[in-house]
Structures are given as structure tokens and as C-alpha cells.
Chain A
Amino acid sequence: MAIDTNLCVGCSDCVVACQVENNVPVGYARDWVVEVVEGTYPNLAIELRSERCNHCDNSPCVRACPTGASHYAEGGIVLVTPDECIGCAACIESCPYDARFTHPDGYADKCTFCIHRVQNGQDPACVAVCPTTCMTFGDMDDPNSEISKIVRSRKSKVLAAEAGTGPNIYYLTK
């Protein structure tokens, strides 16, 4: 997924769309918006970022999971199987993005990249709803996909690259 920080206006539509699409329990959020302000008044720079699970290539949550409930689905999306999860919170402790939480029913929960929509050829709910179309979802392994072209042609960054998890959300900055 690529997110254009210059287009994002911080409206939180992505957060609400996710909560509705995935029936996220009240009081919980699988995605969130971060505002970064740099400089001193009046010389300020602002960056807005819609954040969620990075579906890392080297996911620490998958490594930490003692039962295999956290796993890579086809295509690299990181998922949790509720019936295999014991609710030990090791994955929550292992995530440098704090993208996971314990669902009120007891299992670990997080963004699924709306895999149920992706398998039907649709974009994740957050991408589909974004009023500024700041998000692009697709296959990074395919060099001809729209997302591959965007990430190649623009300046981008990933969050906490130094944590070594191989995150898969690219924030376009220029």
C-alpha cells in the first residue's frame, strides 16, 4: 500500500470506513491518523499519515506467536486465526507499530487489508473511501502494477525501518 502524505487531509474517513466494514468493536481502531508537526511557529511543516498494520515481510508478530495463529496469507497479508489464538499478547508486544490489540472476545485483532474485499478484486475499505484518493493498494511484486510504478516514481519512506521488519506501507513524501 502507498499513501500520499501530501494528499491526506486527516479526515479520518479511513478509520470510520474500517470500523464499519470490519465490524470493529466500539472503542477500538485498526487504523488511525497521525499528525506530525515540525519546526517553530510561524515556520511549521505538517505531515498527515493514515497508519495501520504494515503487513511486514519479516513480521515479528508471526515469529512471536506460540501457536501459529498469526500467519502470512497468500500474497503476504498477515492475518490472525481467532480459533488458534490463545490471547497471550506476545504479538502485541512484538509490534513496533502497536497495530494490534486484544479483541473483546479475547483474540488478537488488527488490520486485514480487508482480505475479503481484496479476494473479490476490490480495494480495502480505507482505500476505497478516501475522499482525496491518497491511498493506492496493489501488488508490489508485480513491476507493472500501479502501486509499483507510483513507489518507483515518487520519494517515499517506511516507518521505523530500523526495527528491521520489512514494512509494506510506503508513505509518499514528494
Chain B
Amino acid sequence: MQGSKSIATKLILVITLCSALIFAVTLGYNYYQSRLVLEKELEKNARNLAMSLANRVERELVSVSKVTDGVARSLETANYSETQLHSLLQATLANNQEIYGAGVAYEPYAFRRTSRLFAPFYFRKNGKINLIPLEASYTDLPYVYWDWYQIPGELGKAEWSEPYFDEGGGNILMSTCSIPFYEASGGVRHLKGVVKADITLASLTELISSVKILKTGYAALFSRNGMILAHPVKESIMNETFFSMAESRHDNALRQLGKKMVRGESGFVLYKSEGGTRNWMYYAPIRSTGWTLAVVFPEDELLENVRKLSLTMAAMGLGGIFLLSIAVIYIARSVTKPLRSLVAVTEVIASGNFDVELPSTRSSDEVGALTNSFRFMITSLKEYIRNLTETTAAKERIQSELKVATDIQASLLPRLFPAFPARSEFDVYASMDPAKEVGGDFYDFFFIDEHHLCFLIADVADKGVPAALYMMVAKTLLKSEGQRLGEPELILSCVNNILAADNDSCMFATVFCAILDTRSGEVRFANAGHNPPVIIAMDSQKPQYLALKAGFVLGPIADSVYNAERLTLKQGDTIFLYTDGVTEAKNPEEQLYGENLLLQALQDAPKGNLADLIHCIRSEVNRHANGAPQSDDITMLAITYRGAGAAIKEN
């Protein structure tokens, strides 16, 4: 379960994070690029819009100034009578609907020597054209001191006045185009007067005010002094200038922007409005009046679509990532589910149950392959364990049989001590420890007649069952032939001939065979390739190996000749027989126990009791072996002559 969790979690984490990162980068780049494109597009659109609006305003103004200029030029080229002048003005007004009022104002005494001021002015009212003599109506301040007269007069060029509200107080914006005209006398041009044409800016400001860009974007018109002429905030019209707005906002950048406008520049700027929103503004001059037309786009609204799109994309992306996560979870589950089943099954198998059902796999993917491998493994394991069980059973059977064989073999050797409790002339003791379950060594002792004890020790070549079988035969033959023949050399040659027949495998045994005369202590013996025994004499400090003739081993070759030898044991002397299992016992360093150590051990061993002697040597050999496995059968036999007198005494 933990594994599946971590795989699923890892997959989800990696895939979700990676896709989220890729998505975020893509979205960010898209937003950035869209914004750039939009801004470029915006500038183009803003310029086009501002230009078209400015041109529209310009067209109207230019046509008016052309008409006005035409009147001024006419007045310069010809002397108009009062009647002609009235007709001219009336015709001008009648022919030019865009002009609200038109008039001519003369310099003092310039029209007539007799009257100081003369300024006829025609204007529209209720569909009719009415006359106002300006020299009469401007009572407080004569017309010559008004901007519309004074400025073009002083500057000597056409001027559009700063816009003003109309005289009726109807909140209609007006502006006046004034053009000076001159009279040449004596080669000097004198100002003769100013032609003026009033227009209402109502339609223009309405046009500009009606411009809606996005939601709150707008167009605005500023005068040459920065006065607001058209703006969505009605209260600011003719009340605020660009510079007073900058002052109230303490915004010097805004003031600098206003100065650029007043200077007749155009541009595309990003500025902060009073509310703190960022606005794009394109501004362009209206050349003939020095006014400025501006279009304003709130950045937020401009980017709203991009933002909406980005938000939608973000939402879609999040949804996609969510779906992806679900898909990943599903796949991770479907991958790890059979794995989890396998884990569960493996645990059952580990506990020893091979008969569990493996999860069925439909897929041919790695998990399917793994499941199939598992199935194969289980089958193999089952097969192996069955074989192992069978082998083990067989081995156990053999083992138990060998155990029986061990018992049988052991039972063949005389094991009951003291062996002859009635005979005090000698003591005898022997032991045999097979290296395997059954051994090839054996010993034996038996009476041939009342006074002759035959004793022997033998070592069958090799170990194990073949040696044990051979040993059975040899022992049986030696005992039967020994009792029949009564001479050691005869016993050996007779048994050899029997064994040599049909002995293809060349099995053989080394045998030391001896017969003790219990009355005299005389020992007749013959040797068939066996290790020489040790004589532990009462009158000698050191035990000694018996020097004897070798004699060929018993079994391989018929007609081998064995020699009889003799020695006499004195009272208390001991003859110690052994097999090479004693002298060739090895320690872990592969060192042999050896003849010398044996002699030493025999010298140091306790005398008197043969069982103690043999157990002592056995433990010495064990000590030497130091845990190394016993490689050969260890067999020992010892006889001590007590003397014939002992028996007589007892008797």
C-alpha cells in the first residue's frame, strides 16, 4: 500500500507540477505577447481615432476660417459701403450654416471719419439673422479691447479665441475666428479692422463626448490654455485646465504632459488617473486653433479581454491538470493494483503457502510479465521443494538404515568389559569410533582353547558401507579360521586366500593378529600390513613400537606369505594395538597426531586400568583434532598380562 501511494504521489506530483509549470509559462508568455500586440494595436487605433476626430474638428474650423478670411480679403481689396458691408455679412451668414455669427469690427475712425467705432455683427436667432451693432452693445469695455479683436490686431494674424460660453448663458461653447484686415496708405499697412466669425462648438464637443472607448474610455478636447472643452466629467468643462488638474493631484508629470499638448505636440503616453488607474492616452493637436484632442483608454479595460482570456485559459488549464491528475491516479492505481495483489500473494508465499491463486492479468504489459514470471517462479519453487522433500526423505531413510547398520556393526564387536571376568591372567579393553555411520575398522578377541587368547585389530581400506561389508566378511573369516587353525600366520594366509578370490575391486584389510598364551605370557603374532603395536613394558620407562615384519595386506593377492613372530609379555606388560585413525587424526591445521605424540601420550597415561588408558588416548586425540572432523575410524585395543599366577591365586 505504501509503495502504491508513493508511486501514485510521485507521478501526480511530477506530472502535475511539470504540466502546471509548462502551462504557467505558456500562459504568462501568451499574456505578455498579447499585451504587447494589444498595446501596439491600441496605439495605432488610438492614433487613428484621435486623428480622425482632430481632422473632423479641423475641417470645420478650417472651412470657417476660410470664409472669414475671404471676407477679410474682400474688405482689403475693395471699399465697401455700409449697405454693401451689411449685405456681405448677411450673405456670409446665409451661405455658411456652420457660422453662428459674423461681423466686422473697425479700428477707431477707420470706417468713417465721423464715428469712432463701427462694428456690425449678424447672428442667428430663432432661424432668423439679426443685427447687433457691437459699438453700441459693448458699453463697458469697447470691442477694441476684447480678445477676439485685440489679439489678432496686435499679432497681425488670424486667431481662434479661447472658447467661451455663449451670451445666452445656455452653456453652449463658442469660439471666435478673427482675422485682421489692413489698408495700405503711403506704402504702410495700417490695421483697419477685424473680421470675426463665431461658431458654436456644441456639435464638435458632442461628437467628442459621444466617443466611447471600451467601457469608460473617452475622448477629450483641450484649449490652447489647457482648458477642458469636452470631457466626460461635465463639471470640469470650462472650469478645469489640464494644469489645475495636475495641481490638484500634485502630479508634475501630468503638468509636463499638458505643456506638450499646449506646445502642439502629439504622443502616446501611459499615465495614472486620479483614481489610480493606468490609462493610455493618445493626443494630437488641432493645428488651426492650437487645441488638443486626446483619446483615453483605461489599461484595465483594454487588457480585460486578455485577462478574461487568460483567466479562462487558467481555469481550463487547472481543469485540465485536475483531469490529468485523476487520469494519473487511475493509471497509477491500475499499475499498482496488480503489484499490490502480487505483494500480498508474495507475503503468503513467503509464509510457505505455494497454493495461492495469483491475480489474473489481462494486460500484456510489464506487470503482466511480472505476474507470469511469478507464476513460473511459484511452479519452479513447488517443483524444487517437492524434489527436496523427496531427496530429504530418501536421505533420511538411508540415514536411518545406516544407523541400524552402525548398531549392527557395533554389536559385532565385543563391547562388554570386563570381557572375561573369570580370567585374571590378563586385562583387555577396546573401543572403535567409526568416522562415518559404519566403519572399516574392527577388533576381536576370543579364546582358541582354554589357555590361548586370540586378539586382533584390522583396518579395512576405505570407509563407509563397502568397507563395513568387507569388514563383516573379514571379521567372520578371521574368527572362524582363528579358532580352527590356532596359528596367527596360518590364520592370515588362509583368510587372505579366501578374500583374494574374486576381489576385483582390490578391497583389502590390514590385520595384526596375535595369540596370547595366558600361562606364559608368550605372544605369537603375524602382521598383514598393519601399524606396529606399542609395548608398554613394566621394566621400561618408555613405551616402544614393536619391531615386526611388514607382511602384505589381507585381500588383494592370493598366496601372500605371513611370518609368525613371538614375544613374551612379563607380568604387567601391556600391548597396545591401534589403527591409523589414531596416528593420522588431523587438526584444523592438517597436522597429524603422529606416532611420537602417541608414544608420549601412552607414557603419560594412567596405568592400571586399560579403560582409563584408552579413554585418555581417545581424549588426547580429540584434543589434538581440536574440532576438526574425524576422517577415519579410530580403533584401539590394549591387553595387559597379569601373569598366570594371578589365575592360580584366584583359583
A interacts with B: no
